[in-house]
Amino acid sequence: MHATPVLRRALGLGVLKRWASVIALFALWEGVCRARLVDPFLLPALSEVLRRGAGELWSGELVAFTALTLYRTLAAFVLAGAIGIAIGVSMSLSAPLRWFGEPVVSFAFPIPKIALMPIFVLWFGVFDLSKIVMTTVAAVVTVISATHLGTRHIDKYLLWSAQSLGTHRRALFWKIVIPAALPAILTGLQIALPMCLIVSIVTEMITGGRGLGGYMIYASRFAESDKVFLGIFLTALIGYVLTEGLAMARRRLLAWHPEETVMV
């Protein structure tokens, strides 16, 4: 299939449109600072932040911190994904687990999970482990409930079709339920990923211990506002790259799904 020139232009326009608001915001930021409308200590210009960033790159420290935050985020994401899908699926398969799990999930959902951080520090120390556990716990509930919702109600005609085509009862789960629930599961993962980034950074802010969160907290302690903004900028960038990557994976995995072909 090939895109027509009209379609291609529409896509190009779409990309520009999509970024226009961000670019405008950056321009506004830069403009306000250049015009000396605010104290450069409270809000350093974007160009200043980027210059600082270029300088910091040489030191290597910032790169190491970014890598550390990325590692914690992804480790927690993989754990939350694997554990969440396994629990969500088990709850759909077993009535006793459902009876046990459904109220627990509803109960746990609205708790600000970060409140558990002091406890995890007691249990797992102040280093990587407590941060990763904290982030996993915060994100796993979302994955559980998305997976459970997706696998709980499957069109019975799909199950019947498969059975009349020779699929064994026990194989229905992998062959029909999982593919049918894939859109819901992926949605759960897409919500969990930025959540992992946010919680990782917050844990680093609370317990110190390097990473981008630690970097920003130290910077603010030493009143280096350009460093704080650099941290925020980097976090936004990482978040964007991660969520965009997952969205790409979704489009690829769900090429069959009607929702994925609607482009406006």
Chain contacts with another protein (rule: CB under 8 A) = 155-158, 160-167, 169, 176, 179-180, 182, 255-258, 261
Closer Cβ to another protein, 150 or 194, answer by number: 150
Q: Min. distance of Cβ 76 from another protein in angstroms?
A: 29
Closer Cβ to another protein, 115 or 255, answer by number: 255
DSSP state string for 66-131: HHHHHHHHHHHHHHHHHHHHHHHHHHHH-HHHHHHHHHHHHHHTTS-GGGGHHHHHHHH-SSHHHH
Closer Cβ to another protein, 159 or 206, answer by number: 159
Residue 132 three-state SS: helix
Q: Min. distance of Cβ 161 from another protein in angstroms?
A: 5
Tokens of 145: 């409930």
Q: Give the CB-side neighbour count of residue 200, counting CA atoms within 13 A.
A: 31
Q: Min. distance of Cβ 172 from another protein in angstroms?
A: 11
Q: Min. distance of Cβ 173 from another protein in angstroms?
A: 15
Quick one: residue 262, left, alpha or beta (phi over 0 = left, psi -120 to 50 = alpha)?
beta
Closer Cβ to another protein, 52 or 250, answer by number: 250
Closer Cβ to another protein, 50 or 180, answer by number: 180
Shortest CA distance to 216 belongs to which of 86, 62, 96? 62
Closer Cβ to another protein, 152 or 257, answer by number: 257
Q: Min. distance of Cβ 163 from another protein in angstroms?
A: 4
Q: Min. distance of Cβ 3 from another protein in angstroms?
A: 17
**Number of neighbours of residue 105 by Cβ within 10 angstroms:** 18
DSSP state string for 157-221: HHHHHHHHTT--GGGHIIIIIHHHHHHHHHHHHHHHHHHHHHHHHHHHHHH--SHHHHHHHHHHH
